């Protein structure tokens, strides 16, 4: 099925370990986003990309890095995980142009626990 796929779905990390979350979309969307969801705080934007090879910071970028080497993939990296990064991470993508419906398509999330 077309959409946004996130891997892995669950992960437990030890403090100081590193990992990469992968987001892949097959809808040829230009824009891609990484959000984190924490109880009572809604979704907060970490980083986003408006096209292949470009990235920008969102509201809460500290401790994360991203890369968009291919249009369909958007990677989120944690270089040295901290307990404060325990969260559910969502990737989203969006089409552009006059015919786009401006809606975002979300992945099913990655639940990350840092111990």
Question: Residues 60, 75, 90, 93: which binds another protein (CB under 8 A)?
Answer: 90
Tokens of 101: 């419906």
Neighbours of 49 (CB within 10 A): 20
Closest approach, Cβ 19 to another protein, in A, equals: 20
Question: Residues 52, 58, 86, 95: which binds another protein (CB under 8 A)?
Answer: 58
Note whether 74 binds another protein by CB under 8 A: no
d(CA 13, CA 19): 8
Cβ partners under 8 Å of residue 65, min gap 6: 47, 76, 77, 79
Note whether 101 binds another protein by CB under 8 A: yes
Which residues contact another protein by CB under 8 A?
31, 33, 35, 40-45, 48, 50, 56, 58, 90, 92, 101-104, 106-109
């Amino acid at each position: 099925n077309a959409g946004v796929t996130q891997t892995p779905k669950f992960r437990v990390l030890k403090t100081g370990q590193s990992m990469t979350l992968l987001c892949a979309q097959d809808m040829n969307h230009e824009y891609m986003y990484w959000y984190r969801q924490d109880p009572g705080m809604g979704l907060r934007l970490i980083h986003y990309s408006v096209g292949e090879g470009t990235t920008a910071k969102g509201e809460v970028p500290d401790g994360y890095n991203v890369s968009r080497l291919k249009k369909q993939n958007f990677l989120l990296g944690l270089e040295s995980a901290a307990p404060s990064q325990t969260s559910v991470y969502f990737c989203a993508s969006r089409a552009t142009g006059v015919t786009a419906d401006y809606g975002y398509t979300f992945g099913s999330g990655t639940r990350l626990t840092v111990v």
